[in-house]
Structure 1
């Protein structure tokens, strides 16, 4: 996410490091490089210039020149201003009405239908809402079918009327049905449209005016950069929407939309989407995004995702197995599947401080565990329970069955053995003592990591 921008900002801010003497000239050079990095990331020149002027003013005002750690202070100033540029504070979705109506609008191909499904899943699982999805795209039958498939996948009702071509009537009928069935959130997916298409824009204005939604969300394909910002303004002139959703942030995104859109339309970014999976939707936190853009990771979001997948009963079962030194490959496979449910691997790696930079040239994707899973699936039940019985002939059979090499099988068995030794140590008196010390040093309210037993 924003890898190019991250690299360029890192390079720009490093110009202060190693300088024998920090001067106003050094600061001006750094600020100039920061501005260049932002413009290269498709941030409008005016926004980039205003941003860097503020950074320069604050840098000189906070005495970066005489600071003991000028580069660190400069990073902090840039971080705080980035967070402010993106909205400063998180803006929650308003779903207090009964029912609450959410209208989803955007350009063709921006990812509205997929987002509608993700939002329905988010509200069902995290907010305990009974959601109704409404297929309001009367021009694209595939969109209706897609929404029905997504609804079935996440266990949410979908209202569709294939015979009716009037989106206003469809929305009204759906709301009436939702009230009868006790749905407390209605998500209306609409047809994609071009901002220059006056007829289509008038149509969505009528839908908006008729149903009077609690929230209107504008979905932006973040890969379209500055064009997305321009269309966001055009849509806002018609709908006066409540918030923005940035989709496809897992692609080759330069970051311009995320950094510019708030200052142009004065509307908060409420959600970001980072993949095709229904779980790949996050509430937008400007502070956390500033952390990630500056390569500081996002440990809070990482822990939150882990906690969502965390099963307390499973953790207790694992703890007992570790205590008995009987953790096996079936347990290992379950842990891999739990990690995969947290989201795409590239996004998860970006949440670990320093990992994105360290693994910059390493291809990280959702197939990272593919070879490991294939090897485990090629083992017999007995071999998974008792890895020690896997001799050379068994290794050859496992390698052939999994489409991997003997070397890869040996490597996995060695890593598993080392992990077993580490788990055994963690369960020992010395290991528990070490964990207690680490737990005390964790941030207040952190509560440790999911699956980690309290000592």
Structure 2
């Protein structure tokens, strides 16, 4: 999971601070040495680390902190606030032009950074917000780049404009904007060509497009897992053509965090979105404060709430609550709950958003495919078995096991877990539903 390595090291430092009733200036200095080491090992830019440590130390050694009731907690609070600042403090949104005008977003980046897929992910998000997007295939060099954009466009229901690979990218971009005007589209994503390394040809091509087309935003896509290389790429692109923001891809696999913590401080340009998976829905707005909370092991309850609100239909939630209360929850309902959980993302990612869970999960192996067998078992049942009208006898269990491709013991185990789940859900039913808090999603485990 994202930032695991850095998060573990920082939490060990904080554990030592919290264990001391009284802090001295030497305690703070020693803690900052460990924080500095952790950040450098996470591939955070050296100048950024130096500035960050100085800012935290200057605030932390003040008399108000050291003589406070909970000095350890106050130092941690300062670290959190400075980390927020480091990544930009507030979320930065792409503010599109009015619907009667065309917003042009030029996507750029090196080959392999996920630019083409990210363009489709963005188009999908804005389409769901009522915009009429068009994806434009301007990568005429990479084999199958146009086909990849067409496939992704089809998946998200967004049209793709292409003229093949025998035209100049600038000519394709100009023709695409005329096409958008004619067809009343108001958002154009220009998917430009990448290279394995930064070179003059690529920069000249991007500069030519910007000089001849009214580009609203130039958005750079970088691979978070490349650490300081990502920061260097962002710096070069900004110096050469000027960028308005960065999208970090593969952040879910970045155990270090160097790029996320360095880019804003080094380039002055905000991180707009974070790619958190391979699905075309796995693109999240980048919230510096929430990301800092995740890195420091404090969880990310706000994002968890948003995921739940997007995945769970409010009417179905109310209906499900009534079933829990009456203990009429059946296998069809169980399947529906699993589908909603899948929409919210992987189990590991969801648990990491719970405050205090990331450290507890450090040595826990989570099987993200664990839901496949229960689904197969339910799908092997008859309609009457699924809605609990027919009891599942031993002979039925054998038929279900054969249909699901599992052993009878696994069917028995699942049935037992289902009964336990029903009991637990009935007990928890009072915690679900109700629009009075968190827009219809009531948090579990006593969070407010």
- TM-score of the two chains, using structure 2 as the length reference: 0.92
Match of 2:125 in 1: 122
The answer to whether the aligner puts 1:94 opposite 2:114 as a matched pair is no
Match of 2:335 in 1: 333
Structure 1 residues 62, 172: CA separation in 2 closer, same or farther (over 3 Å shift)? farther
Structure 1 residues 94, 321: CA separation in 2 closer, same or farther (over 3 Å shift)? same
Structure 1 residues 315, 15: CA separation in 2 closer, same or farther (over 3 Å shift)? closer
Report the more deviating stretch, 159-168 or 180-189: 159-168
SS in 2 for 1:363: coil
SS in 1 for 2:58: helix
Among 228, 234, 237, the alignment partner of 2:236 is 234
Query: Residues 117-175 of structure 1: CA distance to partner in whole angstroms, max 9, x if unpaired?
Result: 100111011x2111000011010241110110111111111101115330000000000
Contact 1:130 1:183 in 2 (8 A): yes
Match of 1:255 in 2: 257
Q: Which consecutive unaligned segments of at least 5 residues does structure 1 have?
A: none
Structure 1 residues 62, 305: CA separation in 2 closer, same or farther (over 3 Å shift)? farther
Match of 2:106 in 1: 103
The answer to whether the aligner puts 1:157 opposite 2:149 as a matched pair is no
Please state how far the C-alpha of 1:335 moved relative to its aligned partner: 1.3
The answer to whether the aligner puts 1:214 opposite 2:216 as a matched pair is yes
Query: Residues 316-359 of structure 1: CA distance to partner in whole angstroms, max 9, x if unpaired?
Result: 44344445432211111111111111223332222122222222
Contact 1:94 1:214 in 2 (8 A): no
SS in 1 for 2:61: helix
SS in 1 for 2:215: coil
Pairing of 1:136-175 with structure 2 (within 5 A): 136-175=138-177
Aligned length: 441
Contact 1:43 1:259 in 2 (8 A): yes
Structure 1 residues 355, 402: CA separation in 2 closer, same or farther (over 3 Å shift)? farther
Among 340, 343, 357, the alignment partner of 2:359 is 357
Report the more deviating stretch, 30-39 or 155-164: 155-164
Q: Which consecutive unaligned segments of at least 5 residues does structure 2 have?
A: none
SS in 2 for 1:244: strand
The answer to whether the aligner puts 1:311 opposite 2:303 as a matched pair is no
- Distance across 2 between alignment mates of 1:195 and 1:64: 48
SS in 2 for 1:315: helix
Contact 1:194 1:200 in 2 (8 A): no
4+ residue stretches of structure 1 with deviation over 6 A? Answer: none
Structure 1 residues 423, 321: CA separation in 2 closer, same or farther (over 3 Å shift)? same
Query: Residues 189-212 of structure 1: CA distance to partner in whole angstroms, max 9, x if unpaired?
Result: 111125541122111111122212
- Distance across 1 between alignment mates of 2:427 and 2:249: 44
Please state how far the C-alpha of 1:291 moved relative to its aligned partner: 0.6
Query: Could you say what the CA RMSD is over the residues aligned between the two structures, in angstroms?
Result: 2.3
Pairing of 1:24-423 with structure 2 (within 5 A): 24-61=25-62, 63-97=64-98, 98-125=101-128, 127-193=129-195, 196-364=198-366, 366-386=368-388, 389-423=391-425
- Distance across 1 between alignment mates of 2:202 and 2:427: 65
Structure 1 residues 255, 378: CA separation in 2 closer, same or farther (over 3 Å shift)? same
Query: Residues 284-314 of structure 1: CA distance to partner in whole angstroms, max 9, x if unpaired?
Result: 1000000100111111111111111222332
Structure 1 residues 182, 381: CA separation in 2 closer, same or farther (over 3 Å shift)? same
Please state how far the C-alpha of 1:51 moved relative to its aligned partner: 0.5
SS in 2 for 1:186: strand
Structure 1 residues 426, 221: CA separation in 2 closer, same or farther (over 3 Å shift)? closer
Please state how far the C-alpha of 1:380 moved relative to its aligned partner: 2.3
SS in 1 for 2:221: strand
Query: Residues 52-95 of structure 1: CA distance to partner in whole angstroms, max 9, x if unpaired?
Result: 11111111126332222222112111111111100011111121
Please state how far the C-alpha of 1:416 moved relative to its aligned partner: 1.7
Among 416, 425, 449, the alignment partner of 2:441 is 449
Contact 2:198 2:233 in 1 (8 A): no
Query: Residues 384-424 of structure 1: CA distance to partner in whole angstroms, max 9, x if unpaired?
Result: 11187123343344334333344433332222212323444
Structure 1 residues 148, 355: CA separation in 2 closer, same or farther (over 3 Å shift)? same
Contact 1:134 1:174 in 2 (8 A): yes
Please state how far the C-alpha of 1:33 moved relative to its aligned partner: 0.5
- Distance across 1 between alignment mates of 2:330 and 2:197: 57
Please state how far the C-alpha of 1:262 moved relative to its aligned partner: 0.5
Contact 1:175 1:186 in 2 (8 A): yes
- Distance across 1 between alignment mates of 2:190 and 2:241: 14
Please state how far the C-alpha of 1:47 moved relative to its aligned partner: 1.0
Please state how far the C-alpha of 1:275 moved relative to its aligned partner: 0.8
